[in-house]
Structure formats: structure tokens, C-alpha cells
Amino acid sequence: MAIKTKRFISSRKSCSCSMPGVWRAVAYCQGVVVIFHSPKACAHVARTMDINAHYRAIADGSRENAGAIPLLASQLEEKDSIFGGVERLEACIAYAVQEYKPECLVIATSCVAGVIGDDVESVARRAEKLYKLPVLSLDCCGFLDGEYYQGYYGITELLVKRFLQPLPRTAGQVVLLGDNGGPWGHYAQEVTRLLNAMGIKVLGQFPGYMAFKDLPKVATAEAIIVLGGRGQTHVGLSKIAELLQERLGIPYLAKYPVGWDNTQKWLEDVGRLLGREQAAARVLVEERQLFTKRLQAYLKVTRQKKTVLCIGRLLQYFHPEAVLTTIRLLQLDLIGVVLLDAYDSKEKQIMVQELAKHPELKLYTADEGETLLQEAELVLTTHELQNRQLKQIFLPMLPRVGTKGELDFMEMIYRRLCSKIKGGLSYV
């Protein structure tokens, strides 16, 4: 019997919506108001994301120190599909200006408005003149002309082009670029910890987490540190960093400190970028000490434990190298790698080629894999598997970064192996 995943996803494109991307690009940017030109329900989805992010931050032991900015919807209804929704959008803008007195308005356009053919850009230009305030709009039209990241990067690019001008730069201060759960998320927290250890101060996190009036301060940074990732995240953020360098002359670092090897390289790169090689070398020694001490403790439990890696995510979103390094460091016995039924033949070939760089790996199909899983003491997987007897650890789209991120991952593997409870899924 083939391994079955809990949820089935077949889409390769149009997997997400641009509107939440627009929202996240300014979600905590005090002074801005966002309007979704959409049915009310689309804004409720963004609100759901927002609540989830809040409680995730609380569970992570962090505390948000800012509330989200107002999010309005033009509340398109069925009748607007005949007569258009422009009038509705204009009324909503008028309300937003009167009620919140924003310094800037941002409009995201839904697929519904795209199908109807509303000219949102013209509405934005008229509103800008009428209310004498900047109005940014993006015609991504929900999932029609882009996805989450097109919304996010589109608005970020507009913010850079309209509101950032070169200023004298201050040594020892950097700006973080990207989201990943904001300043209270594990990514920014860990990067900030490592930077602070090198004597570098974080000025803020751009775009979504600086007040509108503070945006010009981005130009005073000595460097931009990209909170990168894989695939579109990396490409998009690198482009924005490139744009900032071009317009403001600020250098940037767009490396991804995921896994222990990459974290060490990242520390050295930061040192070189900011001319703090000595500080970086000192921090590296401290981090290695910390890392080695914890690793030794885990090895007592993890060594030679039979492990299966199940992969069903595209290579652009999941590069197996970091997980394979963790498996090697913990001396787990990787008895096989299962390719789940989530690929088409071309995508599968790409992942197989990548895994072929490690000739010692034994690859299995989903059909063959179920038997293999019976032997496994631990399953590391990109997709939740239906078999509830398995001890699964979910490999997230955005893994934790830095020394702490890697140690958190190892700690989870250690705990799951210590556990006497047979099955279940854990998230890192």
C-alpha cells in the first residue's frame, strides 16, 4: 500500500493570493491603511493569518509589541459584478481617509475585481489627488496576475521607489529585509541575536514592521541583511535588496543561514560585509562551543536510530542538503528517502538528480515506502502522513535559522526519540 499524505495539493501555480502579500508588506506599518477591493471574506482570510501569527508568536515565547494596521474591504457583492465596484471602492477610500487619517493608503485588488475589470489604478490616482496623500495600488488581482509574493514584493518595491531617498549612513546599524514572522519571529530574533553579538544594531525590519514615518531611516543603514529563504522568497528579496543598493548605495547580504554549515558561513559573510571579521570569528568560536556541547548531549540518544526522510516538496522550496547535514551530525541511520506522490515526472526527476549527489542514499517510491516506514523509529517529512503510528517531524517551508534554529531542530529529533509515545506529528 502506498504512503498517503493527509492533504492533496495538485496546483503548481496560482497556489496563493496576492492580497495577503500586499497586506503583510505593510501589516504593522503604523500610519498606513490597507483596503482590499474584494468581497469582505477575502479580508477575513488575512485576519485569520494575522490571528495565527499572533498566537504562534505567543507560543514561541515572544510578544508582539505592535498591533496590526486597519484592514478594510470594499465589500464587493454579486450585483457589483454587473455594474462594477469602482463606486464602492471610492466610498471605502473616503471612509478610510476620514476615519483613520492615514499617511498612506494601500489598495490590493481581488480576482473578482480583476474579472469584473475595475480600473483600480485610476481610482488610486484620483484619490491621491483628492485627498493629497500617497495611494499605492497593485493590480495583481488576487491569484490572476500573481501570487502572495507578487503582492508582497510589488508593494515593497513601490515603498522603496516612492519613499526612500539616500541619506548619510551610520556604521554598525543594519536593516533586516523580509518578513518570516516579524521582529518577534524566530528568524529575526536569531539573526538579531547573532548580529548583536558582533556589536551590530538592528535599526528595524523592512517592509512590514517600520512605521510609515520611519521608512526614510532605512537609507541610514550600513547594510541590509536579507531574511532569505528558498525559491520565490530568495529571488524576490534579492531583487529588492538589489534595488536598495542601486538607489541608496547600501550593500546587502542575501544568504540563508539554515542548518549549521550555512550558519557558520553566514557569520563569516556578515563579518566580511561590515568589516568585522574579528568579531565574526569570535562569535563563531562561541557558537561552535555552544553547538558542540549540545550536539554531544543529543548523540547519546540519536546515534544509529533508524530514520526515513519523506520528500514531496519541489526542490525550489525544499533543498534536502540542510536536513541531510543534520541527519549526519546526529548520526541517525537514514534507512531510506521516500519520494511522495506529489510530483509530476519532471519535478521528480529534478529532485532525484539532486539526491543523486549523495550516492549512498537509497530512494523509494511512495508505493515501496510503506514497508520501509514500518522499520523507522523516526520519520522526517515535508507532508503530514496519514499513518498515525509513525513518529513524524514536519519539515516546514520556512525552517528555523541560525545556531538556535538548528539546535531547536535537533532538540525536537532528540525529544521525539526519547518519547515512548508511538505516533504523532511534531512541528519545529
Partner 1 sequence: MSKLENVHWGDVCERVDTCALTGAAAFVAGIPRTEILVNGPLWCYFYALRYLEHGAYGMAQRFHGSQPDNTAVVYGSEKYILAALKRLQKEGREPELLFIESSCSMSLIGDDLNGIAAKAALPCPYVTMDCGGLIGGFAEGYTKAALRVVDKCLDLSVQVQEQVVNILGQTDFYLHGRDDTEEMVRLLQQAGYRVQAVPGSGSSLEKLKHLGHAQLNIVTNEELGLPLAEYLKKRCGTPYILAGLPYGIEGTKSWLAKIGEALPAPALGAVYEEAEFVAEHLTSLLNDARGLGGELWADRLIISGPPTQALCLGEAVRREWVDTSELWLCCQRGLPHNAPEAYCQAADKIYISGEKDLPWKDIAQFTGSLLLLGSSSESSLLYRQGRADFINCNIAFPAKDEIHLTKQPLVGLEGSKQLVQKIWNAYIKQCIQKQGEA
Segment near partner 1 (CB under 8 A); pick from 59-67, 205-213, 215-223, 409-417: 59-67
Q: Which is nearer to partner 1, 13 or 422 (CB)?
A: 13
345 binds partner 1 (CB under 8 A): no
346 binds partner 1 (CB under 8 A): no
**Residue 179 beta carbon to partner 1: minimum distance, rounded to whole angstroms:** 17
- Pull the grid cell for residue 159: 515603498
> Could you say which of 1, 61, 78, 346 contacts partner 1 (CB under 8 A)?
78
Segment near partner 1 (CB under 8 A); pick from 77-85, 235-243, 267-275, 406-414: 77-85
Q: Which is nearer to partner 1, 20 or 259 (CB)?
A: 20
392 binds partner 1 (CB under 8 A): no
> Could you say which of 71, 226, 315, 329 contacts partner 1 (CB under 8 A)?
71
> Could you say which of 1, 10, 300, 360 contacts partner 1 (CB under 8 A)?
10
45 binds partner 1 (CB under 8 A): yes
424 binds partner 1 (CB under 8 A): no
> Could you say which of 22, 104, 107, 143 contacts partner 1 (CB under 8 A)?
143
Write the burial class of residue 132 (CB in 10 Å: 0-12 exposed, 13-18 middle, 19+ buried). exposed
394 binds partner 1 (CB under 8 A): no
Q: Which is nearer to partner 1, 348 or 383 (CB)?
A: 383
CA 376 to centroid of chain Cα atoms: 30
Backbone phi, then psi, for 78, in 5-degree steps?
A: -55, -40
CB 135 within 8 A of CB 124: yes
Q: Which is nearer to partner 1, 383 or 400 (CB)?
A: 383
- Convert 291-303 into a string of H (helix), E (strand) and C (coil): HHHHHHHHHHHHC
- Convert the chain into a string of H (helix), E (strand) and C (coil): CCCCECCCCCCCCCCCCHHHHHHHHHCCCCCEEEEEECCHHHHHHHHHHHHHHHHHHHHCCCCCCCCCCCEEECCCCCCHHHHCCHHHHHHHHHHHHHHHCCCEEEEEECHHHHHHCCCHHHHHHHHHHHHCCCEEEECCCCCCCCCHHHHHHHHHHHHHHHHCCCCCCCCCEEEEECCCCCCCCHHHHHHHHHHHHCCCEEEEEECCCCCHHHHHHHHHCCEEEECCCCHHHHHHHHHHHHHHHHHHCCCEECCCCCCHHHHHHHHHHHHHHCCCHHHHHHHHHHHHHHHHHHHHHHHHHHCCCEEEEEECCCCCCCCCHHHHHHHHHCCCEEEEEEECCCCCHHHHHHHHHHHCCCCCCCEEEHHHHHHHHHHCCEEEECCCECCCCCEEEECCCCCCCHHHHHHHHHHHHHHHHHCCCCCEEEEC
Backbone phi, then psi, for 48, in 5-degree steps?
A: -60, -45
**Residue 43 beta carbon to partner 1: minimum distance, rounded to whole angstroms:** 4
186 binds partner 1 (CB under 8 A): no
Is the previous residue joined to 183 through a cis bond, with omega within 30 degrees of 0? no
> Could you say which of 3, 76, 202, 329 contacts partner 1 (CB under 8 A)?
76
388 binds partner 1 (CB under 8 A): no
**Residue 181 beta carbon to partner 1: minimum distance, rounded to whole angstroms:** 15
Binding to partner 1 (CB under 8 A) within 311-340 occurs at: none
111 binds partner 1 (CB under 8 A): yes
> Could you say which of 66, 211, 352, 412 contacts partner 1 (CB under 8 A)?
66
Could you tell me how many residues of this chain bind partner 1 (CB under 8 A)? 62
**Residue 36 beta carbon to partner 1: minimum distance, rounded to whole angstroms:** 8
369 binds partner 1 (CB under 8 A): no
> Could you say which of 48, 289, 371, 419 contacts partner 1 (CB under 8 A)?
48
Binding to partner 1 (CB under 8 A) within 14-43 occurs at: 14-17, 36, 38-43
> Could you say which of 32, 86, 104, 114 contacts partner 1 (CB under 8 A)?
114
Q: Which is nearer to partner 1, 41 or 297 (CB)?
A: 41
> Could you say which of 22, 29, 46, 310 contacts partner 1 (CB under 8 A)?
46
**Residue 44 beta carbon to partner 1: minimum distance, rounded to whole angstroms:** 5
Residues binding partner 1 (CB under 8 A): 6-17, 36, 38-48, 50-52, 54-55, 58, 64, 66-68, 70-73, 75-78, 80-81, 87-88, 90-92, 95-96, 99, 110-112, 114-116, 142-145
